[in-house]
Amino acid sequence: MNFKKLAVTVLSVALIFSFAACGKSDGDDSAIRVGSKDFTENLVVAEIYALALEDAGFKVERKLDIAGSLVHTAITNDEIDIYPEYTGTGLLSILKLDLITDPREVYNVVKEGYEKQFSITWLDQSNANDGQGLVIRTSVSDEYGIYTISDLQEQADKIRFASQGEFDQRDDGIPGMVKVYGEFNFKSSKVYDNGLKYQILESDEADLAPAYTTEGQLVRTDLFRLLIDDKQMWPPYYLAPIIRNNVLDANPKIAEVLNKVSATLDTETVTALNAKVDVDKMEFEEVAGEYFESIKHLLG
């Protein structure tokens, strides 16, 4: 009799642990793991996502500052659940597809591709486009009437180019520009560290440098101007949250929360947020917190 009671007790305990394990696997009670890449903009936006999810009642675990080369692996290997990604990166770097320049088409292609290949959902894209560009000293732009890349191509012999080396070889760098716009016969071209480019421009050591279109220094319009890609050489890099399907299925409210966040973000807004970190030297958490408080009433 005692042996039977013992057997029943052991079986009951085993069943309890079995049910507990099943309950944990559905994700309802576990933290949402929010990741980010390792640069200012992605850190700020990921922190805004985390704050919005916490405000909506979710438990959040932050796994920020992941190398850009590793973050896709992190989400596909179930190490993170959500992070801010860029449509152009998804198209060219992850799916390895041909260049598309229409923003809506790029979004639809990456949304479908990630769903099929990775069981990952692209939530709504924002109006923030962090794409490739060229920054010129404002005084030089005004002096020679250079406002577009076509203008630059025509006046290149007057311009000192501050390259970052790899830009001279990349398909979306000088070779791509030559195919679309023609030869760029710069007055000079020297390689500088990317982190020094605005210092180099401001100190009048060069006139032009590669840039990304939401870099914080671009708020200093009296010194720096972003040239217009008038022939649409570069693909759009619109910012959007991507999330593992199993996590979204278990927590469908996440889509509503993060889509509302994305609706508040555009290129000008994200550039200003980056500037608070990179120019004003605020901590990214503080910048994200201030911004979240300013949009909180829109998320309810």
CATH number 3.50.50.60 is the correct assignment for the domain at 27-129+237-299: no
Give percent above pLDDT 70 in the chain. 90
The percentage of residues in the chain with a pLDDT greater than 90, rounded to a whole number, is: 83
- Domains 27-129+237-299 and 132-226 in one fold: yes
Mean pLDDT is lowest, of 1-10, 67-76, 223-232, for 1-10
Quote the mean pLDDT of the chain: 91
- Alpha-carbon span 172 to 193, nearest angstrom: 19
pLDDT band at 29 (very low <50, low <70, confident <90, very high): low
Domain boundaries, the chain: 27-129+237-299, 132-226
Phi-psi bin for 177: left (phi > 0), alpha (psi -120 to 50), beta? alpha
Q: What is the DSSP string of 143-161?
A: HHT--BHHHHHHHGGG-EE
How high is the pLDDT of residue 99?
86
Cα separation, 63 vs 42, whole angstroms: 12
> What confidence score (pLDDT) does residue 166 get?
83
Residue 138 pLDDT > 80: yes
Q: Hey, which CATH number is domain 132-226, 3.10.20.310, 1.10.3720.10, 3.30.465.10, 3.40.190.120?
A: 3.40.190.120
Q: Give 266's strand partners.
A: 127
Give tens-digit pLDDT for 81-96: 999 999 999 999 899 9
Q: Which of 52, 132, 17, 48 is nearest to 86 (CA)?
A: 132
Is residue 19 scored above 80 in pLDDT?
Answer: no
Mean pLDDT for the stretch of residues 68-78: 96
Q: What is the pLDDT of residues 192-242, one digit of tens each?
A: 988 899 999 999 999 999 999 999 999 999 999 999 999 999 999 999 999
Residue with the two structure tokens 């010194």? 223
Q: What is the DSSP string of 63-122?
A: EEEE-TTTHHHHHHTTS-SEEEEEHHHIIIIIS-PPP---HHHHHHHHHHHHHHHH-EEE
pLDDT band at 277 (very low <50, low <70, confident <90, very high): very high
Per-residue pLDDT, 1? 42
Phi, psi of 52 (to 5 degrees): -65, -40
> What span, in angstroms and rounded, lies between the C-alpha atoms of 60 and 39?
21
What confidence score (pLDDT) does residue 21 get? 38
